Amino acid sequence: MTAAAKTTTTGQGGSRFEVEEFATNGVIFDPTQGRVKAELTARLCGSSGLQEQDVIIESPPSLFGGGQNHGLWNLRSPGSAGSTSAVSSSKEAGARGGQLNFVLKLVKSKRKGSSILTEAEGFISLFEKHPAIVDDPHLAFPLKILKFMEPGGMRGEQDLIVMREVTGQRLSDLIAHKHNANQTPQIMQILEEIGSLLREFHTRYGNKQHGDFQPSNIMYDETTRRGVFIDISGMAQETSKETDMERFCGSLSLLSGFYGPQFFINGKRHIEKGYARRRHTTHGGATYAASAGRSLRSA
């Protein structure tokens, strides 16, 4: 399995984004063993000097699989601490303390419709329009995409998206844990922070909408108080019928079936309060002012 083509680009902050071909030789993709594991180790860990026997590739708990994935694996070097993680583009996340921590996500390479981008195409389109996105610590952007190629040069039916791990919990799980522990005020504080982060996101990316902005697509680390939005390739579609705020508040409404109607009322108020907060944030060499106002879809 060798690379037939490779494109490497670097973001303004130094993060690399690579798109490569990956010859499958007609073999079923299984990254946990054999030639596939050896090839992946060489591609992802070569600069660190690690060999195939030095890394562990295993499937995480099924709850992190996602409905659109064909497979999901963690790649770690020995001594790397596992976490209830999704993925991130932040440079420090992939090599914490000298250890490697990657997530491998197998997705379809064929479009569902002529105007609907694949997940890999969505990431490539986003990078072309927003090169600094690879350095954004609050978005889960890949470091590498492997485009599968069949014998004879035919395009394969799958792509492998490689991302760095994120520490923390999905916001949906964190809300459940804190509600059961009678920590509702902490939930509301976190929702304010997420609202502020959403405002910065809209300001930074020209009011693009996430497309599926709900608690299960947000990671939050209580130690660092950092939120990360995951499953962001839908940003490239620009076809969302709901604003991100509408989508999120709809999710809160559903959760109120478990947590009570007051949860929705308070949750909506706090995330809107955070969204209206005026903050300045620096990213990609530019400073943005996130001001009060309602989220509107890009024209």
| 124, 174: one domain | no
In the listed set 118, 140, 164, which residue is the last one of a domain according to the structure? 164
Domain boundary among 147, 164, 181: 164
> How many CB atoms sit inside 10 A of residue 81's CB?
11
Beta bridge partner(s), residue 19: 7, 145
Beta strands in the chain (DSSP E): 6-10, 16-23, 56-58, 71-76, 101-108, 144-149, 155-164, 169-170, 218-221, 226-229, 279-283, 286-290
* Domain count of the fold of the chain: 2
Residues 6+ away with beta carbon under 8 Å from 87: 103, 105, 140, 142, 163, 164, 165, 166, 230
Could you read off the pLDDT tens digit of each residue along the chain, which spans 299 residues? 444 456 656 555 556 899 999 988 877 889 988 888 888 888 888 777 777 888 899 887 654 545 556 799 999 887 655 444 444 433 444 544 457 889 999 999 998 888 889 999 999 999 999 999 999 999 999 999 999 998 888 888 899 999 988 889 999 999 999 999 999 999 999 999 999 999 999 999 999 999 999 999 999 999 999 999 999 999 998 776 899 999 999 999 999 999 999 999 999 999 999 999 865 555 544 444 444 333 333 33
- Shared domain check, 19 and 151: yes
Tokens read off for 124: 């490539």
Any domain includes 298: no
